[in-house]
Structure 1
Amino acid sequence: MEDGVSLKFRQQLLLIAENLVAEDVAALKFLCTDLLPFKKLESVKSAVDIFQLLLAEEYLNEEDTFLLVELLYITKCHSLLKKLGYTKEKVQECLPEKGRVSRYRRMLYELSENISDEMLKDMIFLLQSYLPKRRLTLSALELLIVLEKQRLVTENNVQLLEQVCMNVSPDLLEIVNHYKWAKDNKEANVTQVFSELNLELPGEFSNGENESKKMTSYKMDGPHRGFCLIINNVNFDKDLPERKGSCKDAEELKQVFTWLGLDVVTYKNLTSQEILEVMQTWQNLQDHKDRDCFICCILSHGESGAVYGKDEELVPIRTIMSHFTAKQCSHLAEKPKLFFIQACQGKEIQCPVYVEADARVLDLSSVQHSVSPFESIPEEADFLLGMATIDGYVSFRHVQQGAWYIQALCSKLQLLVPRGEDILSILTEVNEDVSRRVDRLGTKKQMPQPAYTLRRKFVFPIPRDPPPSQQY
């Protein structure tokens, strides 16, 4: 039993638990449904509770940690695998022989991960007569749990899921059909088992079909990841106030993108002309041909569709980005180009003393025609523009803690890149984070807005080192 568990091993488990958020705990509970007593799982409140149950039921010990490794792998907590002596590749090799989570349970979890908020609303509407009337809100996992409790969905009967998915999304239906096919074909080979989970196969099992799946993402396995430019305008020549807290943003961006494998170059307090000159210099750089991508972050004051140089002259965002089209920068053709803009896109509003707006005070008569983020992107593929705020509104920056948007961006990149999330999913999480923030008086809100012409998923390779936030 668990009596012989060493202090060192418990410390190891505690460290892993501290890196798991509420959503991870819910996922672990769900994946353990077939392995642990239901009544005991119902009382679980934290990852530590789950680990305690796994120890008690002898699914986990110092000599055999694979079930926990499998759970972390399925939930895409890949950065935590090394704490148990595993790599992503090693797990993939061991799964066919040592995996304990059933194909059925994995299918349901994958389904929940692919159900968007809009899909969930539609599913709840379709299943209304089967759901408890008192339950006003359900997550995707909770919805599946309710259906299982009522025996409407079982390992041998997924007909109701098929019917609902058929009405809601072909992609969801495909997940269920993969499961049914694999279940009906007892001799399904390893390739099919992995493909149903959208997992990467170990090298010896790779085939043409798996290679075609990889083509849905941008190539990010070259000898060099790419360059990241950071333009940090803090001080201005005339009327615009100092952007206190921006240096913290610039430093965190540098740490995070360095961790992600990019070569970071920072510029500070550039005039409008100098910004354009910097873009011209990097546009002509030959080294882009050996890089996977290009990223540019601009921290400044701004107005609709433009950012200020330190000379308080505006530079259109579209002009900045147009330096890197395939025609202007052939070495970045068909490669992803990401721009993150921390600047207001409208006139300043009154805010508390500890929260400032990145905008000039303007008369209404001087406000130019609004330019949407989509109008700022060149009419070419492979661009992404991440705006701190929607057009016409201010974006907020704490004078000590940094900008809401940049802090959320850095935080979510560190949390979700190790889980294999693509950049649009990450920016959706950033939207959620920033939208929930308010100033200390509870009266000012902000909503970021991404716009893009990406043709494929953009997924950062998972770094070997822990995120910067865990290195200190």
Structure 2
Amino acid sequence: MTKCQVPSALIHQIEQELDKEEDELMIFLCRDLAPDLATANLRELLTALNEREKLSLFGLSELLYRIKRFDMLRRILKTEKATVEANLARCPRLISNYRVLMAEINENLEKEEVDSLVFLLRDYVPHMKMGKDKSFIAVVVDLEKLNLVAPNQLDLLEDCFQNIHRIDLIRKIQKYKQEAIMSSVHSQPVYVNALQASLPNLSLIDPLYNSGVSVNQEKTQNRQICESVSCEKQEMFDDQYRMQSQPLGICLIIDCIGNDSYVLEETFRDLGYEVHCFRHLSIDTMDKKLREFARLQKHRNFDSFICILVSRGSPQSVFCTDETFPGFPLERVKKYFTADSCPELLGKPKLFFIQSYIVPENEQGGASLLEVDGNDDSIISNAKTPWKVAIPQVADIFWSQCKVDVSALERSRSSSSYYLRCLAGLLRNPHKRKLSILDIHTELNREVYEWNKTIDPSQQYSLLLQHTLRKKLFLSPT
């Protein structure tokens, strides 16, 4: 009897939780592993791979990672996204780079763009059955069957992406080609161009005597390829904040209402952040927490920082659980994490999302403003390096504040903030998550103001966005 590495109950649980698109994508990722099972459903495919000892718990974790089901990694396989990424960096991978590339492209295409691709492909495959609701993955499978698309044959897709003006996807393909060529210098080539396809006996490690290219010339060409890849990467990321650290940064959540922290924790943990959540804090305790997190030296290892505050207050301050006027100034919250106070975050994006439940002035308690050291010497003293740089101290801030009357809580004390609910929904949507943070906030504005049309004016939300970002920011690894 063949020894199976993964319990059948585990395969059943995973297969039951995936939706139709995720099911299709996982089958696509496994196509190379069992070519004889091209028409099998996911359960049959995973079971066959398991029986053939091609599937392991690590392979299963890679599959869930590739389809972005980080929640299932934690709940079912008891592992984290960062752990899987670390294993993928040092262990043999189950899925080929080509299939990973196609999955990434699939995630970055809107339905309208796929429809355009289907239309364009009629010029190349007029007799091919192309349904209107066909997914990009299904299109690729059909093209593979006709030998029009393969790991070493992507020119057709490049032409199509050129026609729909998706230059970013062409760059992805070109990057894949160049990396494949570079890796083939010491192995068999993964990608071959049109000239090599017409000369099947030649490889990138063969002296190209027949084409008149010497070994030294070939070495020069390979070096030029490396330099080209390096330059392209530099050009691609010069206008973007680096988001590659694991985790991406610390996400500090202070929820003094208690209705939103759970969904926010899960959302930002899935995005790759180290989440710390505190509920129902007093002003004094919140100040201590802010100072504590501003002092953390490990910010230097991370690429960003996020702070989320949910509290009653005034437009300029938060009351926490004290509900006293004027409360804790929001400006001081921001100051704790600017470069002069927290030099470990210099040049890195710092995002603040504030849900303020505004208490009318006639209902605010007696004055009790927290006294703080105006120079924040205790924080600045942690900086061991004189930060003489050209970046303004208040740069790289993204400040999103939503205000609503406190009566919104009084109507239903368990109701969540529509602003934060929409934010979490957009960040969990794989298609919206690929947008820059400014574009995501535009979508957030649209949803909130559409909501405002349906409710009483006294319950409407008001959004304010201020930022000093110097580059494009995507809340995903780049």
**TM-score, length basis structure 1:** 0.55
Give the aligned partner of residue 230 of structure 1: 254
**AA in 2 matched with 1:113:** E
Please say if residues 313 and 358 of structure 2, whose CA atoms lie closer than 8 Å, have aligned partners that are also in contact. yes
Residue 95 of structure 1 is aligned with which of 92, 96, 104?
92
Q: Do residues 72 (structure 1) and 64 (structure 2) align?
A: yes
Gaps in structure 2 of 5+ consecutive residues: 192-228, 362-391
- Residues 456, 17 of structure 1: alpha-carbon distance in 2 compared, 3 angstrom cutoff: farther
**AA in 2 matched with 1:287:** R
Superposed CA deviations along residues 258-277 of structure 1, whole A, max 9, x for unmatched, are 9954454445475xxx8xx9
The alpha-carbon deviation at position 250 of structure 1 amounts to 3.9
Separation of aligned partners in 2, 1:341 and 1:307: 10
Give the aligned partner of residue 177 of structure 1: 174
Give the aligned partner of residue 109 of structure 2: 115
Give the aligned partner of residue 334 of structure 1: 347
The alpha-carbon deviation at position 103 of structure 1 amounts to 4.6
CA RMSD of aligned residues (A): 6.0
- Residues 283, 329 of structure 1: alpha-carbon distance in 2 compared, 3 angstrom cutoff: farther
Separation of aligned partners in 2, 1:192 and 1:217: 30
Give the aligned partner of residue 159 of structure 1: 155
- Secondary structure of the residue aligned to 1:95 is coil
Superposed CA deviations along residues 229-281 of structure 1, whole A, max 9, x for unmatched, are 5152xxxxxxxxxxxxx3232466568779954454445475xxx8xx96699
Please give the residue correspondences for 1:257-406 in structure 2 after superposition, counting only pairs within 5 Å. 260-266=273-279, 268=281, 282=290, 287-291=295-299, 292=302, 294-300=305-311, 309=319, 310-311=323-324, 320-322=333-335, 324-327=337-340, 329-343=342-356, 380-386=394-400, 399-400=413-414, 402-406=416-420
- Residues 279, 12 of structure 1: alpha-carbon distance in 2 compared, 3 angstrom cutoff: same
Separation of aligned partners in 2, 1:92 and 1:125: 38
- Corresponding pairs, count: 375
- Residues 137, 14 of structure 1: alpha-carbon distance in 2 compared, 3 angstrom cutoff: closer
Separation of aligned partners in 2, 1:127 and 1:312: 65
- Residues 290, 126 of structure 1: alpha-carbon distance in 2 compared, 3 angstrom cutoff: same
Please say if residues 218 and 336 of structure 1, whose CA atoms lie closer than 8 Å, have aligned partners that are also in contact. no
**AA in 2 matched with 1:248:** N
**AA in 2 matched with 1:176:** I
Q: Greater CA radius of gyration, 1 or 2?
A: 2
Percent identity of the aligned residues? 21
The alpha-carbon deviation at position 163 of structure 1 amounts to 1.4
Please say if residues 288 and 332 of structure 1, whose CA atoms lie closer than 8 Å, have aligned partners that are also in contact. no
**Which structure is higher in RCO with an 8 Å CA cutoff and minimum separation 6?**
1
